[in-house]
């Protein structure tokens, strides 16, 4: 079986995770988590979100988080990318104002999810990204894209891979350097992941795609394994399996970073993350949030 020699892990716990935790953390607590993750060797950390604080209160105050990142963390971790979500021009202006160096825009492959998540159609969302891309281009800020509901939608059920391909291609055409495919409700299986990727890879190179697998049905690692076998080498994950999605009821967090790292170690795939430091971050944030640790690997290590 062919596997990539190295994999890029995009840590989304401080954004995708914390946006859906009941306990909203203050800036210092967020910064502590982000610094522990950077110290563990994670090189891309999605650290906040410039969305409406009325819609996602947990992400309010992302300005303060990025100001602290720039003054306190970036000098210690000069090669780490601390990125943020931006849904529209206003979000992008907020991100630029506080010195964010990489952003992500997010669309969906499902009309109903797009309406629930960002209050507009897929077409309108792509139109909203045009000024975001313009600002990013003039400020030399790389933009990542997300497509949600690639393997199923909480409102519409199954999603045609051709619809995923259309939205993914639109995001690439408007200048996203990579598109992360979101199994927002973690409903996919290795079979549906394989069908989706077979369809996408007929027109889009694997190097332009990442996988963002929520673990609701316990399929995330299996889906990642299939994706690795099909040539994908960028994976999103959340320390301690934090989070879910505020607009996808019942969705659990992303695959836990520790579980992903453990699997990559088993496959002898390079990732650059130190497990022991990651485990410390995982334990600390679970205690802080007063929640069960969502990582099987963390649980296994803590019981031995």
d(CA 288, CA 293): 11
Q: Is 149 annotated in the active site?
A: no
Q: Please name the helix (run of DSSP H) or strand (run of DSSP E) that holds residue 170, with its range, or none.
A: helix 161-173
Question: 18-47 mask for ligand HMG (x: CB under 6 A)?
Answer: -x----------------------------
Report the relative pairing of strands 44-49 and 102-108 from DSSP bridges: unpaired
Touching ligand HMG, residues 124-183 (CB under 6 A)? 146, 148, 182
183 scored as a contact of Mg ion (CB under 5 A): no
Residue from the set 9, 56, 179, 234 that interacts with ligand HMG by CB under 6 A: 56
d(CA 278, CA 46): 16
Closest distance of CB 113 from ligand HMG, Å:
8
Pair of tokens at residue 54? 């009325």
Return the SS3 of 152: coil
Residue from the set 9, 37, 51, 240 that interacts with ligand HMG by CB under 6 A: 51
Closest distance of CB 110 from Mg ion, Å:
14
301 scored as a contact of ligand HMG (CB under 6 A): no
Asked if 155 and 184 touch (Cβ cutoff 8 Å), the reply is no
Touching ligand HMG, residues 227-266 (CB under 6 A)? 245-246
Residue from the set 101, 208, 212, 271 that interacts with ligand HMG by CB under 6 A: 212
66 scored as a contact of ligand HMG (CB under 6 A): no
Nearest to 103 by CA among 60, 68, 140, 77: 140
Pair of tokens at residue 72? 């306190």
**Nearer Cβ to Mg ion, position 106 or 299?**
106
**Nearer Cβ to ligand HMG, position 20 or 35?**
20
Span interacting with Mg ion, options 11-19, 37-45, 96-104, 124-132, rule CB under 5 A: 11-19
Please name the residues in contact with 119: beta carbons below 8 A apart, sequence gap of 6 or more. Answer: none
Size of the site for ligand HMG (CB under 6 A): 26
Size of the site for Mg ion (CB under 5 A): 1
The string of DSSP codes covering 13-74 is IIIIIGGG-SSPP-HHHHHHHHHHHHHTT-SEEEEEE-S-TTT-GGGTTHHHHHHHIIIIIT
16 scored as a contact of Mg ion (CB under 5 A): yes
Please name the residues in contact with 303: beta carbons below 8 A apart, sequence gap of 6 or more. Answer: none
Binding site residues, ligand HMG, CB under 6 A:
16, 19, 49-52, 55-56, 85, 87-88, 90-91, 94, 106, 117-119, 146, 148, 182, 184, 212, 214, 245-246
Active site residues: 245
């Amino acid at each position: 079986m062919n596997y990539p020699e190295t994999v890029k892990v995009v840590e989304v716990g401080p954004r995708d995770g914390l946006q859906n935790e009941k306990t909203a953390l203050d800036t210092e607590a967020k910064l502590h988590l982000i610094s522990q993750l950077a110290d563990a060797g994670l090189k891309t950390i999605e650290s906040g979100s410039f969305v409406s604080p009325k819609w996602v209160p947990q992400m309010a105050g992302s300005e303060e988080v990025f100001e602290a990142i720039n003054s306190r963390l970036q000098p210690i971790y000069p090669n780490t990318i601390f990125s943020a979500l931006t849904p529209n021009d206003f979000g992008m202006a907020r991100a630029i104002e506080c010195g964010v160096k990489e952003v992500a825009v997010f669309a969906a492959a499902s009309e109903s999810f797009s309406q629930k998540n960002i209050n507009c159609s897929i077409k309108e969302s792509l139109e909203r990204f045009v000024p975001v891309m313009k600002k990013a281009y003039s400020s030399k800020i790389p933009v990542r894209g997300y497509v949600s509901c690639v393997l199923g939608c909480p409102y519409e059920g199954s999603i045609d891979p051709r619809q995923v391909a259309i939205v993914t291609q639109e995001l690439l055409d408007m200048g996203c350097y990579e598109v992360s495919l979101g199994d927002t409700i973690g409903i996919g299986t290795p079979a549906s992941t394989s069908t989706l990727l077979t369809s996408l890879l007929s027109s889009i190179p694997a190097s332009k795609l990442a996988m963002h697998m929520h673990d609701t049905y316990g399929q995330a690692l299996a889906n990642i394994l299939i994706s690795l076998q099909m040539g994908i080498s960028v994976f999103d994950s959340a320390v301690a399996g934090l989070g879910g999605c505020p607009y996808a009821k019942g969705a659990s967090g992303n695959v836990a970073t520790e579980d992903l790292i453990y699997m990559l170690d088993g496959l002898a795939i390079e990732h650059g993350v130190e497990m022991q430091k990651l485990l410390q971050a995982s334990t600390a944030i679970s205690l802080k949030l007063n929640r069960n640790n969502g990582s099987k690997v963390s649980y296994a290590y803590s019981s031995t």
